[in-house]
Amino acid sequence: PEAQVDRFMFKLKVSYPTKAEEREIITRQISNESVNIEKVASTDDILKAREVVSRIYVDERIKDYVVNLVSASRYPEEYDLNELKGLIQYGASPRASIFLTKAAMANAFMKHRGFVTPEDIKHVALDILRHRIILTYEAEAEEVSSEDIIRKVFDAVEVP
């Protein structure tokens, strides 16, 4: 199952709706009114945006940063994260490096920048990595989450 889960780019945490929001959901679902949906972007707009995102600059130091972050989840002792060694069953895969970089490029695009910063990487990290770091039973017993591990990795890896 780990390999199947790894194919999903993000694992987003979605909270429950408020009571008012849930009531509105019910109202919309039982209504016979037709919904008026308006197009906000054309296929051409989306293809152009994808092209722009693909041209966002990723410096070699940023690539090294991503590789080090992912590597630290696999080999924590190499990053002086000895306390994590018995807590991680499987670290993040190479797919994590790819998706972390692509999501950071999209984040830079959304911020109207033509280049990726370490802050872009941090901004998308939890959503990209939380389902890719598989914890041991010891970690679960100690109530350590994958998000706790990710934060410690970010604290340990040098920022370019």
pLDDT, position 2: 63
Distance CA 149, CA 74 (A): 11
Whether 117 contacts 108, CB under 8 Å: yes
- The tens digit of pLDDT for each residue in 46-60 reads 999 999 999 999 999
- φ/ψ (deg, to 5) at 147: -65, -35
Whether 137 contacts 121, CB under 8 Å: no
Looking at the predicted structure, is the pLDDT value of residue 1 above 70? no
Q: Helices 146-156 and 118-129 meet at what angle, rounded to 10?
A: 160
pLDDT, position 3: 63
pLDDT > 90 in the chain, percent: 66
- The tens digit of pLDDT for each residue in 67-108 reads 999 999 999 999 999 888 889 988 998 999 999 999 999 999
pLDDT, position 124: 96
Closest to 10 in 3D by CA, of 105, 123, 99: 99
Residue that the structure tokens 């934060």 belong to: 151
The average pLDDT across 61-69 equals: 97
pTM (two decimals): 0.83
The average pLDDT across 123-149 equals: 90
The structural domains of the chain, ordered by start, are 56-160 (1.10.8.80)
Residue 112 burial by Cβ neighbours in a 10 Å radius (0-12, 13-18, 19+): exposed
Average pLDDT over the chain, rounded to whole?
Answer: 90
Which DSSP helix (H) or strand (E) runs through 101?
Answer: helix 94-110
pLDDT, position 148: 92
pLDDT, position 5: 67
